[in-house]
Amino acid sequence: MAASSEWQAVRRRGAARKGKLAQSEKPQAPESVDRGQDRRRITEAINELRCEDFWPEWKEILSGCQAETVDETVEGTDCFMECVCYGLGNFSSCVSARYQLAMLLLLLDALQIPVGCCSLYDPVFTESECETLRELGFTVLTENEEGKRAVCHPTLFYLMHCGKALYNNLLWKNWSPQILPKVTVIGNSFLGIQERTLQRQLERDYSFLSDVINVCEETSLPCSQRFLDVFNDTALIRFPPHKLRKLPESIWDEPSEPCYEHCQDLEIIQRVREPK
């Protein structure tokens, strides 16, 4: 877990300070020194968030949701739930992204999801950030999935302040009344997205979001004034079967893959496509 690997890193730094480098240890390259600083800052951010009044509230909301969603571990692993994080941003240089990463680590710990069961992807991650994430035990994805990840097991998606197309793609890929209940999202409030977007644009470009907004279950996640920039407009979103049943049956038929060719302000980075 994060805590034990962080402890090992602290131990290594302690040895270096005392000039007791083991013979096999080489002086650190500047990049790995930066990584040490990144790790220290992440630990500090975790400690700060733990002292915030909203942390126990998040924990309670999330633990309650997990208890309802999961009743057995993912086959062949120790995970009760898998986790996927898209769009975290550059946590080395961006304070918001760093606090969001710290919150992710707190959540994984509270929900007893091993860090190795959490995969992350952001096309802007630097090589050094990928390495820090791997050192923390995360699985760093190398391909741009554009959010099109098919789930088999209960999966928590952590998408902080991400583009609408990521949510829409995720919904499309799991568009069935049997699968969607396995998807839990921590991300932008869907109701907030609806308020900020023209209805006709939502229906035309983000039809899966538009179809599901009125039947998903949304619980807003609180935050303090100090962390407004980091966690504002954040909600826990779920898709309970009894609510999905309110949708007409025909809505599930042959969902066609979203295409954003006509979108002028697409907020996500798409993968490079082979020319036709």
Ligand X SMILES: C[S@@+](CC[C@H](N)C(=O)[O-])C[C@H]1O[C@@H](n2cnc3c(N)ncnc32)[C@H](O)[C@@H]1O
Interface positions with ligand X (CB under 6 A): 86-89, 94, 96-97, 100, 121-124, 144, 146, 160-162, 268-269
Which letter does DSSP use for residue 260 in this model?
-
Q: Nearer to ligand X by C-beta: 69 or 188?
A: 188
Residue 72 Cβ vs ligand X, minimum distance, rounded to whole Å: 29
The H-or-E segment that residue 261 falls in is none
Residue 136 Cβ vs ligand X, minimum distance, rounded to whole Å: 17
How far apart are alpha carbons 110 and 199 in whole angstroms? 37
Q: Which residues on adjacent β-strands are paired with residue 83?
A: 118, 156
Q: Nearer to ligand X by C-beta: 94 or 247?
A: 94
How far apart are alpha carbons 4 and 46 in whole angstroms? 14
Residue 154 Cβ vs ligand X, minimum distance, rounded to whole Å: 21
Q: Nearer to ligand X by C-beta: 52 or 122?
A: 122
Among positive and negative, which fits the CA dihedral 255, 256, 260, 263?
negative
Q: Nearer to ligand X by C-beta: 52 or 233?
A: 233
Q: What are the phi and psi torsion angles at 16 (to 5°)?
A: -65, -40
Q: Nearer to ligand X by C-beta: 80 or 260?
A: 260
Please state at what angle helix 2-17 crosses helix 95-110, rounded to 10 degrees: 120
Residue 196 Cβ vs ligand X, minimum distance, rounded to whole Å: 14
Residue 78 Cβ vs ligand X, minimum distance, rounded to whole Å: 26
